[in-house]
Amino acid sequence: MSKLFQAFLSGIFFTFFIDFFLFLGMKTNYIDKYNIDIYYNIFFVDNQNIFIFLLFSILFGYLVLYQSNKLALLLIGPLFIASLTTLISPIGNTLGKLLLMKENVSFQTQKFSYHGDIIYSGRKNLSFYDYKIGKILTIKKDKIKGEY
């Protein structure tokens, strides 16, 4: 196995662990807080940016195999610790809001018009907090007219 391929696989390994805890913190402290019915695997895959993942995989793999262990530890260690901090409720919730929530959105279906915050946009459904009702609604995306 070539050293370049080993570096790439090592980078994927380290990037995956950082991403795992980042998304686990958002799942437990943001998604579960609003009782959104989605499995972790679907949440992880749907919100993972493959280009950023590959970029960090290449960077971390290069650091681990071609640079000193101290430099790799100084760069990867704080990122790993930062991803672990999302397991702290206020941090995971805030990160979830920053990355997943769209505030002050209006849209219509055939029967109703809605104004509020999109809490999570899944594959087929929107989890939406309606200001008038004061509740979180699940709305099918194919029922929405126009953009949201």
Q: What is the pLDDT of residues 49-91, one digit of tens each?
A: 999 999 999 999 999 888 878 888 899 999 999 999 999 999 9
**Is there a contact between 95 and 25 (Cβ–Cβ < 8 Å)?**
yes
Residue 147: pLDDT over 80 = no
Q: Which amino acid is at 91?
A: I
State the pLDDT at residue 34: 94
- pTM (two decimals): 0.88
Listed by start position, the domains of the chain span: 3-99, 101-143
State the pLDDT at residue 8: 93
State the pLDDT at residue 145: 86
In terms of C-beta density within 10 A (0-12 exposed, 13-18 middle, 19 or more buried), how is residue 144 classed?
A: middle
Write down the mean pLDDT value for the chain. 93
State the pLDDT at residue 58: 94
State the pLDDT at residue 146: 75
What mean pLDDT do residues 104-129 have? 93
**Is there a contact between 12 and 57 (Cβ–Cβ < 8 Å)?**
yes
Residue 18: pLDDT over 80 = yes
**Is there a contact between 9 and 79 (Cβ–Cβ < 8 Å)?**
no
Handedness of CA 121, 125, 130, 135 (dihedral sign): negative
Strand ranges inside 13-124, DSSP E: 102-108, 113-121
d(CA 30, CA 104) in angstroms, rounded, equals 18
